[in-house]
A and B are shown apart, each in its own frame.
Chain A
Amino acid sequence: SAVISQKPSRDICQRGTSLTIQCQVDSQVTMMFWYRQQPGQSLTLIATANQGSEATYESGFVIDKFPISRPNLTFSTLTVSNMSPEDSSIYLCSISGGVTDTQYFGPGTRLTVL
């Protein structure tokens, strides 16, 4: 199975700044996703990262706040822009081979905003 890595694994940031999270897969994958998990909560899908085109965002998430890139089939980035303490969460990327395939998750990035 594919190996998924995320950088950074954790970070502490000041409000008003931005952080870019990287998700790297050791093989080409069809679909990549970004999720947010706020403290003590479940996972919420932010967007589907589309290779070579704009990401597809879920309700409540916008591109200006969470710009996403996916330049190829093995890599994606999520930027959390103009951060506030409410953005403190675990951010996870996931992959799947297709629309009905199982999603596998990366190790997550634990973000704290002061």
Chain B
Amino acid sequence: AQKVTQAQTEISVVEKEDVTLDCVYETRDTTYYLFWYKQPPSGELVFLIRRNSFDEQNEISGRYSWNFQKSTSSFNFTITASQVVDSAVYFCALSEASYAGNMLTFGGGTRLMVKP
């Protein structure tokens, strides 16, 4: 069965520090999809990025970057020069191509607090 683990439940940094959020996943599928979502205090879930299992290219979007490594089953998320607005809970999620219904399995989430 699929599983997503976010070992860091809470991280606190000072503004402008870099921070990496870890995500480790388990799946038996050879084709799967990985996601990161952000949940600010308002509660909505904001999609950040999707990675397909057959695409191991790392991605950079502004201050955000993602490191996907199949060899270690990890999909880590780095925020460079963090800002107070980055304070939120971040979820890593996995879906498997073999599952007929597009089921997302979420990790437990990492609460990031960025202090001014």
Which residues of A are interface residues toward B (Cβ below 8 A)? 31, 33, 41-45, 48, 56, 58, 90, 92, 94, 96, 98-108, 110
A43 touches B106 (CB 8 A): yes
> Given A90-B43, A105-B45 in contact, is the A48-B101 Cβ separation under 8 Å?
yes
Annotate B91-107 by CB proximity to A: 1 below 8 A, 0 otherwise: 10001010111111011
**What's the A-B contact tally at a CB cutoff of 8 Å?**
58
Which one of B37, B42, B99, B104 has the highest number of Cβ atoms from chain A below 10 Å of its Cβ?
B104
Complex formed: what's the CA distance from A21 to B45 in Å? Answer: 17
Q: How far is the CA of A48 from the CA of B95 in the complex (A)?
A: 14
* Minimum CB distance partner of B108 in chain A: A42
Docked complex: B5-51 residues within 8 A CB-CB of A: 33, 35, 37, 42-47, 50
Query: Which of A42, A45, A90, A102 is within 8 Å of B103, CB to CB?
Result: A45
- In the complex, which residues of chain B have a beta carbon less than 8 angstroms from the beta carbon of A99? 99-102
The reply to whether B106 and A107 contact each other, CB–CB distance below 8 Å, is no
Please give me the 3 A-B residue pairs with the lowest Cβ-Cβ distance, nearest first: A105-B45, A107-B44, A99-B102
A-B contact pairs, 5 of them (CB 8 A): A48-B101, A99-B99, A99-B102, A100-B33, A110-B43
